[in-house]
Chain A
Amino acid sequence: MEERIGVFVCHCGTNIAGVVDVKRVAEELADYPGVAYSTDYTYMCSDPGQNLVKDAIKKHNLTGVIVAACSPTLHEATFRRAGMTAGMNQYQVEIANIREQCSWVHQGDKEAATSKAIRTIKVMIEKARLDEALEPISVPMTPRALVVGGGIAGIQAALDVANAGHEVILVEKSASIGGHMAQLSETFPTLDCSQCIMTPKMVEVAQHPKIRLMTYSEVDDVSGYVGNFKVKIRKKAAYVNRDVCTGCGLCVEKCPAKTPSEFDEQLADRKAIYTPFPQAVPNKPVLDAEHCTYFLKDGKCGICAKVCPLDCIDYEQKDEFIEEEVGAIIVATGYDLYPIENLGEYGGGKYADVITSLQFERMLSASGPTGGEVLRPSDGEVPSEVVFLTCCGSRDTENHLPYCSKICCMYLTKHAMLYRHKVHDGQAYVFYMDVRTGGKGYEEFYTRAAEEDDVLYIRGKVSKIFEEDGRVMVWGVDTLSGRKIEIAADMAVLGLATVPNEAAAKLASMLKIHTDEWGFLSEAHPKLRPVESLTPGFYLAGSAQGPKDIPESVAQASAAASKVAALFAETEYHREPVIAVIDEDTCAGCRVCISVCPYDAAEFDDEKKVARIKEAICEGCGACIAACPSGSAQQKNLTDEQLYKMVSAALEV
């Protein structure tokens, strides 16, 4: 069949036409073999512009369309839809990028730009000549979501997906949901109690008929693809039959073994059998075998089993593996603090009275180890001078991490303020590089701390902290007065950098989702697709993607949930058909494609002894096509033949 290709050259106002001679381009291409119609227009993406394309398709009975305009990431979809409404197959509509890759970069040489635009369009004409009519690939959809991580982001995402009517499995590695937010005292900038606003959501999760909550569990393996993931979840041995347990707490009370509490950030002890905190959900204990006398001393103890009225204790319990099918996965694995031991200059990990910001949160919390009183860890005295340090590990390219951890300015302001509320004659100092208050009500909160609560803000970094005469000596500089500062304080609180939770790295590599160089999960587009991973079916929520405060985490979680709900709105998922295909007749069955495929999309057909591409998984990356020694693997609508002709057109040979 003879091709009848239409060429539509866009002016993009003066963006293109100011550099490229668009009239000449349209005229020259009218004579190119296979071109049935060629024209130009001011704004091809406008309604009249699209109508121009649609009318020409019908009038000239076009078999292919080239729109020479901006990048295909912007308007490819626009023109493909226009083509479809005019009765064309959408995959026979192509974009020639003569803006970003031509007029914008060759502004000084109009002649060269014009000739490059002509060649660029010829390349796409050669491609369009051999474009096949394709249909999007449909895959079935399992409308059930997996949420990994039970902090505020995971909780919010789970609730929103569930409230949209879909089933959710929420997996949390520790014994209770709640995450770091459950550890916090009060929240900036409103100073409402963190647990008071958190616990209703935790309870809602536990009671929601659509949510299956799996605490003390971890995701062990994920296979499959969007709409059709198979996940293997490891329910860790809790040595407690948590289905029967009523959470009476008798075992915890009688347990003789103690170890520092993770929830209280090592400021207090917990028992070997424990619920992390009083409002835990589920409020049922787990037994930590590493610190349990029964396990450490060959069965000598067993007190918990003796006192349990319902015989829930089971020392023989093993890890249990549960397999589930889900259609989408929301990753909300959260953050950790940069290790305090890395701050050697501040005696981090060495001095009892140099503490982390989360330790200070626990101290401020009414349910914390000091019952909400601010007390020095070394001697239990009320500190009369406390120094708060921002940027401990953040914004320090030479020694630590280059990025801003975003939340520290605000939570240290809150810390200083709450300290002043509790110790009225105490003096709070905050050393800062800048006070970053980018959020609603944040600047006002900072002003209030400085002006009403007399928190002394000192612009400068601290060089050294050491103990002297029972106090922590803080050496710093005030860059506004240009003076060295020495403060004999009672306590120092380090605003440690936010780093991705260590579980995130393991999970990211298992899920094959990208991370940045610091281990934060990468979004598909920093502005326009901030809650999706590049790999379809994965969504990001909370600090796993980057340092975030509570409102942002919640917003992102809800956004991820709405993306999942939209995905589940249809019973099938449609994917781009521009993927690899293997010619069974020429395939020698060498399996190179299988070894190079990063998505596990190539498989071996044992009967026919040839490789095959799983349409639902293939991302069209081209790795197998480059690797295939016989040329049997080809990309649909980007075949070797097409590429050869395109390159020839580009080189004018």
Chain B
Amino acid sequence: MKIPYYPGCTLHERARDFDTSARECALALGVELEELAIWTCCGAVYPLVTDSVMDVLAGVRNLSYASRLGDKVVTLCSFCYNVLKRCNNVMRDDEDKRDKTNLFLRADTEARKKVESYTHEDYEGQVEVLHYIEMLRDVVGYDKVASAVTKKLEGLKVAPYYGCMLLRPKNEMKFDDPEQPTIFEEFLETLGCEAVDFPMKTECCGGFQVVNDEELAVSCSQNVVVSALKRNADIIVTTCPLCRYNLDRHQEKMAERVKGFSRVPVVYFTQLLGIALGIDKKHLDFTDNSVDPLPVLAEKSLF
């Protein structure tokens, strides 16, 4: 089965480990992630002003490409997922904005024809935007994932970190209960490991604030990491390159501030899935982490 796949910029640059592990895992589960032939940045942040059409163009353009490949598009990064899903809602539910956006994209296409082969087809929100984990649950099925597991992650205590972008705003994202989500816990149970329930799993990591106020990002992510550590997590999983960055890279500073702080590795959920499915280690690539996950994985005889 082929499913259209939108990687997003970060997965082609800083988060190649996320991209590769996700593709390989999908293949092992019988799904080929078919990368869109052309795609651009999603816009990275969904516009909060309601009168702007310009800001949804990038997202819609990508959705329009996806619509030519199939009725779904899968993505991994929480930001991309948030932006694409909300742009899709606009195109589906807001007739006025839909018409304006399509008009603009038609004109834009004419202009760009001179430099590249590029077409636009009017888009009406018909594609279903799926997060990779939703694909695992709803398209593949957790039971099939469980039966494909060759190495149960027994004894590993995993703290699933959701962050905000998957869950909020709840009326638009409709991903899971925004306060007490469980989709990742259920996923982790299919891999045979122990999901650690920690209260900061939906708190913000600091996000883009790291660019202009690193202190703020450190204190936000410290709040998350310490909470997971307190509940004896061996490892934290995330689904967002930015969350991974904040939780992982700031641990040096956290160690300076928090007495008795012990470092905890932060990996993508697809990397753990890869171990459980017995994917070749070279595709999982645990080299980009500040806190090396290999010791704890080795300790549990998982890697």
Q: Is the CB of A466 within 8 A of B199?
A: yes
Q: Can you give 10 contacting A-B residue pairs, CB < 8 Å?
A: A344-B177, A347-B199, A350-B180, A464-B199, A466-B199, A467-B199, A468-B199, A468-B227, A468-B230, A473-B199
Contact of A345 with B by CB under 8 A = yes
Question: Are A344 and B199 within 8 A (Cβ)?
Answer: no
Which of A344, A467, A468, A469 contacts B180 (CB under 8 A)? A344
Rounded to whole angstroms, the CA-CA distance of A344 and B179 in the bound complex is: 5
By Cβ-Cβ distance, the 10 closest A-B pairs, closest first, are: A344-B179, A466-B199, A344-B180, A345-B179, A344-B177, A350-B180, A467-B199, A468-B199, A468-B230, A344-B178
Q: Which residue of A lies closest to B230 (CB)?
A: A468
CB-CB under 8 A from B200, the residues of chain A are 466
A:453-477 near B, CB below 8 Å: 464, 466-469, 473
Which residues B220-270 have CB closer than 8 A to chain A?
227, 230
What size tier do the contact residues of chain B reach? under 10
Instruction: Identify which of B177, B179, B230 gathers the most chain A CB atoms within 10 Å of its CB.
Output: B179
B180 contacts which chain A residues (CB < 8 A)? Answer: 344, 347, 350
CA distance A56 to B230 in the complex (A): 92
CB of A139 to closest CB in B, whole Å: 51
A495: shortest Cβ distance to chain B, in Å?
18
A464 neighbours in B (Cβ, 8 Å): 199
List the B side residues contacting A468 at CB < 8 Å.
199, 227, 230
Chain B residues close to A by CB (< 8 Å):
177-180, 199-200, 227, 230
- State in angstroms the CA–CA spacing of A347 and B178 once bound together: 12
Q: A347-B180, A350-B180, A466-B200 are known; give 14 further A-B pairs, CB within 8 A.
A: A344-B177, A344-B178, A344-B179, A344-B180, A345-B179, A347-B199, A464-B199, A466-B199, A467-B199, A468-B199, A468-B227, A468-B230, A469-B230, A473-B199
Q: Which residues of B contact A347 (CB under 8 A)?
A: 180, 199
Name the residue on B nearest A341 (C-beta). Answer: B180
What's the Cα separation between A469 and B230 when bound, in Å? 9
A347 CA to B177 CA in the complex, in Å? 12
Q: Which residues of A contact B (CB under 8 A)?
A: 344-345, 347, 350, 464, 466-469, 473
A188 CB to closest chain B CB, in angstroms? 31
Count: A-B pairs, CB below 8 Å = 17
Q: A392: shortest Cβ distance to chain B, in Å?
A: 13
Shortest CB-to-CB span from A375 to chain B, Å, is 24
Residue of B at shortest CB range from A349? B180
A347–B180 Cα distance when bound, in Å, is: 8
Q: In the bound complex, how far is the Cα of B180 from the Cα of A554, in angstroms?
A: 40
In the bound complex, residues from chain B placing their C-beta under 8 Å from that of A466 are 199-200
What is the distance, in angstroms, from B23's C-beta to the closest C-beta of chain A? 34
Give complex CA distance A426, B36 in Å: 62
Q: Which residues of A contact B227 (CB under 8 A)?
A: 468
* Assembly CA distance A350 to B197 (angstroms): 11
Instruction: Please give, as numbers and ranges, the residues of chain B lying within 8 Å of A345 by CB-CB distance.
Output: 179
Q: How far is the CA of A347 from the CA of B227 in the complex (A)?
A: 16
Q: Which residues of A contact B177 (CB under 8 A)?
A: 344
Q: Which residue of A lies closest to B171 (CB)?
A: A398
Closest to A351 in B: B199
| In the complex, residue of chain A having the shortest beta-carbon distance to the beta carbon of B198 | A466
Question: Nearest residue in B to A464 (C-beta to C-beta)?
Answer: B199
Q: Give the docked Cα–Cα distance between A347 and B200 (Å).
A: 12
**Which residues of B lie under 8 Å from residue A467 when comparing CB positions?**
199
Find chain A residues with CB under 8 A from B230 CB.
Answer: 468-469
A344 to B178, CA, bound (A): 8
CA distance A468 to B180 in the complex (A): 16
CA distance A350 to B198 in the complex (A): 12
Minimal beta-carbon separation of A55 from chain B (angstroms)? 65
Complex-state Cα separation, A350 to B180, whole angstroms: 9
Q: Give min CB distance, B179 to chain A, whole Å.
A: 3
CA distance A350 to B181 in the complex (A): 12
Residue of B nearest to A345 (CB): B179
Query: In the complex, what residue of chain A is closest to B203 when comparing beta carbons?
Result: A464
Q: Which residues of A contact B178 (CB under 8 A)?
A: 344
Closest chain A CB from B70 CB (angstroms): 34
CB neighbours (8 Å) of A350 from chain B are 180
Residue of A nearest to B177 (CB): A344
Closest chain A residue, CB of each to CB of B200: A466
A628 to chain B, nearest CB (A): 41
Minimum CB–CB distance from A393 to chain B (whole Å) comes to 13
Q: Nearest chain-A residue to B201 (Cβ)?
A: A466
Residue of A nearest to B179 (CB): A344
Q: How far is the CA of A473 from the CA of B180 in the complex (A)?
A: 16
Q: Give A469 to B199 CA distance when docked, in angstroms.
A: 12
CB of A403, distance to nearest CB on chain B (Å): 20
The docked-state distance in angstroms from the alpha carbon of A218 to that of B177 is 36
In the bound complex, CA of A470 to CA of B41 (Å): 45
Closest CB in chain B relative to A324 CB, distance in Å: 46
How close is B277's CB to chain A, nearest CB, in angstroms? 32
In the bound assembly, the distance between CA atoms of A344 and B180 in angstroms comes to 6
In the complex the two chains form, what is the Cα distance from A23 to B281 in whole Å? 99
- Least CB separation from B180: chain A residue: A344
Cβ–Cβ < 8 Å partners of A344 in chain B: 177-180
Which of B180, B227, B230 has the most chain A CB atoms closer than 10 A to its own CB? B180
- Chain B residue nearest to A398 (CB atoms) is B171
Question: In angstroms, how far is the closest chain B Cβ from the Cβ of A144?
Answer: 50
Residue of A nearest to B169 (CB): A398
Please report the C-alpha to C-alpha distance between residue A466 and residue B231 in the assembled complex, in whole angstroms.
13
Roughly how many angstroms separate A88 CA and B52 CA in the complex, as a whole number? Answer: 69
Distance in angstroms from B171 CB to nearest chain A CB is: 8
A544 to B180, CA, bound (A): 31
In the assembled complex, the CB of B121 is this many whole angstroms from the nearest CB of chain A, namely 36
Determine the chain B residues whose CB is within 8 A of the CB of A473 once the complex forms: 199
Distance to closest chain B CB from A650 (angstroms): 39
Determine the distance from Cα of A74 to Cα of B277 in the docked complex, in whole angstroms: 78
Q: How far, in angstroms, from A350 to B178 measured CA to CA in the complex?
A: 15
B contact residues around A469 at 8 Å (CB):
230
State the Cβ distance, B280 to closest chain A Cβ, in Å.
Answer: 40
Cα–Cα, bound, A71→B283 (Å): 81
**Bound complex: CA of A345 vs CA of B200, how far in Å?**
11
Distance, CA A466 to CA B179, complexed state (A): 11
CA–CA, A350 and B179, complex, Å: 12
Closest to A465 in B: B199
- Provide the residues of chain A in CB contact with B199, threshold 8 Å: 347, 464, 466-468, 473
Alpha-carbon gap, A350 to B182, bound state (A): 13
Give the distance to chain A from B111, nearest Cβ to Cβ, in Å.
Answer: 42
Report the bound CA distance from A350 to B230 in whole Å: 18
A350 to B199, CA, bound (A): 11
- B105 smallest CB distance to A (angstroms): 33
CA distance A473 to B198 in the complex (A): 13
Complexed CA–CA distance, A467 and B197 (Å): 11
Least Cβ distance of B13 to chain A in Å? 34
A466 to B226, CA, bound (A): 14
Cβ of A272 to closest chain B Cβ, rounded Å: 32
CB distance from B272 to the nearest CB of A (A): 25
Residue of B nearest to A469 (CB): B230
Question: A346 CB to closest chain B CB, in angstroms?
Answer: 8
- Bound Cα distance A288, B111 (Å): 76
Give, as a whole number of angstroms, the nearest-CB distance from B76 to chain A. 26
- Across the interface, name the chain A residue whose C-beta is closest to B181: A344
- The docked-state distance in angstroms from the alpha carbon of A287 to that of B230 is 46
- Shortest CB-to-CB span from B144 to chain A, Å, is 29
Among A344, A347, A469, A473, find the residue whose CB has the most chain B CB atoms closer than 10 A.
Answer: A344
Bound complex: CA of A468 vs CA of B227, how far in Å? 9
Q: A471–B93 Cα gap in the complex (Å)?
A: 45
CA–CA, A345 to B203, complex, Å? 11
Q: Within the complex, what minimum Cβ distance (angstroms) separates A386 from chain B?
A: 20
Question: How many angstroms from the CA of A467 to the CA of B231 in the assembled complex?
Answer: 11
Q: Using CB atoms, name the residue of chain B closest to A473.
A: B199
Q: How far in angstroms is the closest Cβ of chain A from B269?
A: 22
| Complex CA distance for A468 and B179, rounded to whole angstroms | 17
What is the bound-complex CA distance between A464 and B199, given in angstroms? 9
